Structure 1
Amino acid sequence: MASKPPTIIFVVGAWHTDFHLRLIKPDLEKYGYRVLPITLRTSIKSTPAPTLQDNAADILQAMQREANAGNPFVLLGHSVAGLSTTLAANEFLATATPQHKALFVHYVWIACFLNGHRIAPYLTWASTTEDGAWIEVKDPHATFYNDMSIADAQPYIDALEANVAAWPPEYGDAYKSVQGTYLLCLNDRAIPPEEVQRLEAQENGMRIVELKADHVPFVSHPEETAEALHNALKRG
């Protein structure tokens, strides 16, 4: 890790917003990181429906701002944000100067995936709206926050937004040139840890760090997640 603590561009997954980072953000700041939350545009209902490319444009803009300011940065994607962060990472690496590329010091996934065909059979916890444009979660507590009591999880359930139905595009592999770490969530009921997460980490050449946590560890286990992330970044 660079001597100057990097900015963590933290892209939360579908339905989630920066509200869901309210617990882990101060824990990461204790380690000296600046946390820049990004909510996917596909998590906010609008007409016309936003696209993965809209998400990637927002993420790319954040990466470019940090690079232009001379700040080293980490790009972190959670769950479905793996799709949009990868689009943004590839675009940044294709267009940035060598000096700016060097500031992209680490790529982190939390329970992410790129292979849509692999994840599709496991999405029985979700359903599409009548118009087929948006995806809804049948039981957010059981799916996302199964490590928490319903009472503790309720504020985060209430804060969930939307998710547009979008199929993953094709990807180049430029992002694999950046050191990657995958935080694998062993108690995850949304993205199966062995059938999906471990395979995704291995196929994408990422170092695996296991967390005994559900799908949203930055809500259910913020201190442990911050510590695991800090240790991974220290290793470089």
Structure 2
Amino acid sequence: MSIFVLVHGAWHSGWAWEKVAPLLEAAGHRVETPDLPGYTMGGPVPTEITLGAYADRVAELLDSLSEPAILVGHSMGGTVISEAAERRPDGVKVLIYLCAFLLADGVSLAQISQQDSHSLVTQNLKIDEERGVVTIPEGVVRDAFYGECPADLATWAQARLVPQPIAPFLEPLSLSEANFGRVPRVYVECLRDRAITPALQREMYTQVRCQEVMSIDTDHSPFLSRPAELARYLLSLAKA
């Protein structure tokens, strides 16, 4: 048995993994799908939320586990799992970046996103400086995140999105070879992704080397559009 910790991306929360987690559990594994701080539907958005707070939440979860975890990060969650591995390298068996931001030390999500000129998210991001959050226009969300999902599933997911605190986007990562650098890394690229384009995904996993790269021919949300295929990939990595 392995322990999977599945970390959601921006605007989402732990519900994103509802179709994948049962498939991993059915294969005999334990699955944790934590909500990062500040992602309560219908609640206020805490402006003091930082990338460090996200990573601390995951690190605390790793501390509570009986063995090193397979740590999966989707999209923005990639920055979170990198920082969590820096804090608890011995608590992580492998890092899996699911169409995620895989950044080098000293780089922020906002910095690298600016390079992705064809991203529907980059093109349409709305910054609310007064509230300290970023949003995406409703009319863009489906094409950006859920383009390969059935319409009813895309509608279900979109209704659960919440505003995203901006501070974690702006915070550069602080990583070392001694900690983050010694944890094995795998990248799962999504070839129809319109939020983080395949070109940027390839650039990231070329600059920050991974032991393995896998591909899924789908959108930015394979946990909804291709849950069975994603689960097979994750299970194969658990056996490795």
| 1:12 and 1:77 in contact (8 A); partners too | yes
Once residues 171 and 204 of structure 1 are traced to their aligned partners in structure 2, the CA distance between those partners, rounded to angstroms, is: 14
RMSD: 1.7
| 2:218 and 2:226 in contact (8 A); partners too | yes
- The one-letter code of the counterpart of 1:119 is S
Note the 1:89-168 alignment, pairs <5 A: 89-93=85-89, 101=90, 104-113=92-101, 114=103, 115=107, 116=109, 117-122=111-116, 123-131=122-130, 133-138=132-137, 139-166=140-167, 167-168=170-171
SS at match of 1:199: helix
| 1:15 and 1:43 in contact (8 A); partners too | yes
Instruction: Report whether the alignment pairs 1:197 with 2:185.
Output: no
SS at match of 1:205: coil
- The one-letter code of the counterpart of 1:168 is E
Larger helix proportion of the pair:
1
SS at match of 1:189: coil
| 1:77 and 1:110 in contact (8 A); partners too | yes
Residue by residue over 1:70-95, the C-alpha shift from the partner in whole angstroms, topping out at 9 and shown as x without a partner, is 323111111111112211110113xx
TM-score by length of 2: 0.85
Once residues 113 and 131 of structure 2 are traced to their aligned partners in structure 1, the CA distance between those partners, rounded to angstroms, is: 18
Q: 1:130 to 1:105 in 2, by over 3 A?
A: closer
| 2:38 and 2:46 in contact (8 A); partners too | no
Note the 1:221-232 alignment, pairs <5 A: 221-232=226-237
SS at match of 1:38: coil
Runs of 4+ in 1 over 4 A off after TM superposition: none
Q: 1:50 to 1:214 in 2, by over 3 A?
A: same
Q: CA deviation at 1:233?
A: 2.8
Once residues 49 and 172 of structure 1 are traced to their aligned partners in structure 2, the CA distance between those partners, rounded to angstroms, is: 22
Once residues 202 and 38 of structure 2 are traced to their aligned partners in structure 1, the CA distance between those partners, rounded to angstroms, is: 26
Once residues 197 and 125 of structure 1 are traced to their aligned partners in structure 2, the CA distance between those partners, rounded to angstroms, is: 19
* Partner residue in 2 for 1:8: 4
Q: CA deviation at 1:125?
A: 3.0
* Partner residue in 1 for 2:175: 172
Q: CA deviation at 1:130?
A: 5.0
In structure 2, which of residues 212, 232, 239 is the aligned counterpart of residue 234 of structure 1?
A: 239
Once residues 187 and 170 of structure 1 are traced to their aligned partners in structure 2, the CA distance between those partners, rounded to angstroms, is: 27
| 2:79 and 2:173 in contact (8 A); partners too | no
Residue by residue over 1:138-173, the C-alpha shift from the partner in whole angstroms, topping out at 9 and shown as x without a partner, is 221011000023323111110112211121323223
| 1:13 and 1:81 in contact (8 A); partners too | yes
| 1:42 and 1:162 in contact (8 A); partners too | no
Residue by residue over 1:33-82, the C-alpha shift from the partner in whole angstroms, topping out at 9 and shown as x without a partner, is 2110022225444344311111111000011111xxx3231111111111
- The one-letter code of the counterpart of 1:149 is P
Once residues 7 and 126 of structure 2 are traced to their aligned partners in structure 1, the CA distance between those partners, rounded to angstroms, is: 23
Counting aligned pairs with the same residue, the percent is 24
SS at match of 2:171: coil
Structure 1: runs of 5+ lacking an equivalent? 94-100
Residue by residue over 1:207-230, the C-alpha shift from the partner in whole angstroms, topping out at 9 and shown as x without a partner, is 110011111101111000000111
Once residues 146 and 118 of structure 1 are traced to their aligned partners in structure 2, the CA distance between those partners, rounded to angstroms, is: 23
